[in-house]
Amino acid sequence: MSEEPAWSPPGSASDKPSEPEPATLTPAAPAPAYPVPGYPAYPAYPPPYDASGHPPPYNPTYPPPYDPSGYGGYGAAGPAYPVGRRTNPMAIASMTTSIVALPLLTCYGLGLVVGVVGAVLGHISKRQIRERGEAGDGMALAGIIMGWIGAALGLLGVAGLVVLIVALARSAPAATTY
| 83 Cβ neighbours under 8 A, 6+ residues apart | none
pLDDT of residue 17: 59
- Assess contact for 118 and 101: CB atoms under 8 A: yes
Whether 51 shows a pLDDT value over 60: the answer reads: yes
pLDDT of residue 11: 58
Q: Which of 26-35, 89-98, 163-172 has the lowest mean pLDDT?
A: 26-35
> What's the average model confidence in pLDDT over 54-80?
59
Predicted TM-score (pTM) of this structure: 0.53
DSSP code string of the chain: --PPPS---TTSGGGSPPPPPPP---PPPPPPP-PPTTSPPPPPPPPSS-TTSSPPPP-TTSSPPP-TTTT--TT---PPPPPPPPBPHHHHHHHHHHHHHTGGGGTTTHHHHHHHHHHHHHHHHHHHHHHHT-B-HHHHHHHHHHHHHHHHHHHHHHHHHHHHHHHHHHHSPPPPP-
> What's the average model confidence in pLDDT over 29-48?
60
Share of the chain above pLDDT 90, in %: 44
pLDDT digits 0-9 by tens, 86-128:
999 999 999 999 999 999 998 888 999 999 999 999 999 999 9
